[in-house]
């Protein structure tokens, strides 16, 4: 009877609902950089004050992701997504009324961070991964990752238009209404499916097993670098371009282009991950990021160079997501994929905290983002080195169970 009750939640429906949730959640989240200049100007805050709240958001998002993933693994993703969506909406509404740095930290930092933990990759990827076959899993995860990228491309122009037309406070309220659409979609993601292969493994055993594997730690630190780079670029690129004499619309378009080209990058690398070595693709992505940033720093800043850089970095942006989550499923199995994915994602968000906050701190101290860009290049080299020795073979326990 249980199976019959769940049959309407087909893999296609789950994919559509998951992509839509990621589009809304990630799309609104990526508008943060558009609010930096108008909010700091109106409220007389420093860029570091704004950056710290977004950095705190990333940290809370990361710290809460393993718990959101574990809750989804045990009790189902639908409840997790619904609760997180409500917190997300509340955070945006309170953010619109924030008059002090503390209020901004609690709304934009804590509440939205908690909301993101249950409406983004750790939970959504776990559900999609459990409802796709091994040969199609990497591609499915790539399509889901592209959904988040589409949100970045589609929502950013809307966010800029709302700020320009209604002001930043009303724009936040209207964006909260959009995030509210996550609530009905959560029902379609209610996940009653549990892989039989790892049914006898407890949460503690899964954690001990993962912590004892070097590859799990390497994925964690590679994701740390990814988080630093994406948070720094997403939050500070629009301001960096305006500081260089370009218009705010150029910055908005650059961030939107990152989202547009990441749709293709996520799909391409997700497809390639199902046919070849996922860890070798991670090596390629992190290496190419370093090359893209170096070239961007060397050529004169212009509208063309900004948009070309955005397109290039967009192809490599969230392409790490299907590969990293695919490796977790491939090596450790599906039973605790959301929880283990959440733990690795914590590494991403620790990097995001540093990327968002340190970018603002470096600018306030030096009047330039140059040092932050140099750090991003060096970290690409580190991530490339971390990805190379990853062991992609399934654990013996998992291989025997399946």
Q: Which residue is it, tokens 């039973």?
A: 335
Confidence at 5, pLDDT banded by 50, 70, 90: very low
| pLDDT tens by residue, 297-348 | 999 999 999 999 999 999 998 889 889 988 998 888 877 888 888 899 889 8
Asked if pLDDT for residue 196 goes beyond 60, the answer is: no
Asked if pLDDT for residue 357 goes beyond 90, the answer is: no
Rg of the chain over all Cα atoms, to the nearest angstrom:
20
Asked if pLDDT for residue 113 goes beyond 60, the answer is: yes
In percent, the amount of the chain with pLDDT more than 70 equals 94
- Give SS3 for 368: coil
- Give SS3 for 20: helix
H, E, C per residue of 96-122: HCCCCHHHHHHHHHHHHHHHHHHHCHH
Q: Which two tokens stand for residue 242?
A: 């305006």
Q: Which residue is it, tokens 């309220």?
A: 173
Q: Which residue is it, tokens 């994929």?
A: 337
| pLDDT tens by residue, 42-101 | 998 888 889 889 888 988 998 998 899 888 888 888 899 999 999 999 999 999 999 899
Superfamily of domain 7-192+201-401: MFS general substrate transporter like domains (1.20.1250.20)
* Closest residue by Cα to residue 109 from 148, 43, 62, 154: 62
* Closest residue by Cα to residue 227 from 71, 397, 357, 365: 357
* pLDDT for position 170: 96
Q: Which residues of 9-19 are buried (b: 16+ CB within 10 A; e: fewer)?
A: beeeebbebbb
Domain ranges of the chain: 7-192+201-401
Q: Which residue is it, tokens 């490599």?
A: 316
Q: What is the DSSP string of 45-80?
A: --HHHHHHHHHHHHHHHHHHHHHHHHHHHHH-HHHH
Average pLDDT over residues 377-397: 90
pTM given for the model: 0.76
């Amino acid at each position: 009877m249980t199976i019959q009750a769940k049959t309407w939640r087909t893999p296609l429906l789950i994919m559509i609902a998951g992509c839509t949730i990621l589009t809304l959640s990630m799309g609104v989240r990526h508008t943060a950089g558009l609010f930096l200049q108008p909010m700091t100007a109106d409220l007389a805050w420093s860029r570091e004050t704004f950056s710290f709240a977004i950095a705190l958001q990333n940290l809370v998002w990361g710290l809460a992701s393993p718990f959101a993933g574990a809750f989804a693994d045990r009790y189902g993703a639908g409840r997790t997504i619904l609760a997180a969506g409500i917190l997300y909406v509340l955070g945006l509404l309170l953010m619109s009324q924030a008059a002090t740095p503390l209020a901004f930290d609690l709304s934009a930092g804590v509440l939205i961070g908690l909301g993101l933990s249950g409406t983004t990759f750790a939970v959504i990827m776990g559900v999609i991964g459990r409802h796709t076959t091994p040969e199609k899993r990497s591609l499915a995860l790539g399509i889901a990752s592209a959904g988040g990228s589409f949100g970045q491309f589609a929502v950013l122009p809307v966010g800029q238009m709302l700020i320009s037309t209604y002001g930043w406070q009303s724009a936040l309220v209207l964006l909260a209404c959009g995030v509210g659409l996550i609530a009905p979609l959560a029902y379609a993601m209610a996940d009653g499916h549990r892989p039989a292969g790892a049914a006898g493994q407890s949460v503690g055993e899964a954690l001990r097993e993962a912590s004892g594997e070097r590859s799990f730690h390497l994925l964690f630190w590679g994701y740390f670098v990814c988080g630093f780079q994406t948070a720094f670029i997403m939050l500070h690129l629009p301001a960096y371009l305006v500081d260089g004499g370009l218009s705010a619309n150029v910055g908005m378009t650059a961030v939107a282009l990152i989202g547009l080209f990441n749709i293709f990058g996520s799909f391409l690398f997700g497809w390639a991950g199902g046919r070849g070595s996922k860890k070798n693709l991670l090596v390629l992505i992190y290496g190419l990021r370093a090359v893209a940033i170096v070239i961007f720093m060397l050529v004169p800043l212009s509208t063309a160079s900004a948009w070309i850089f955005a397109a290039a970095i967009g192809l490599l942006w969230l392409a790490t997501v299907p590969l990293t989550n695919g490796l977790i499923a491939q090596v450790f199995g599906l039973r605790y994929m959301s929880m283990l994915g959440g733990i690795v994602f914590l590494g991403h968000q620790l990097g995001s905290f540093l990327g968002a906050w340190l970018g603002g701190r470096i600018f306030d101290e030096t009047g330039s983002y140059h040092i932050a860009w140099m750090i991003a290049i060096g970290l690409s080299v580190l991530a490339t080195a971390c990805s190379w020795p990853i062991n992609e073979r399934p654990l013996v326990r998992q291989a025997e169970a399946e």
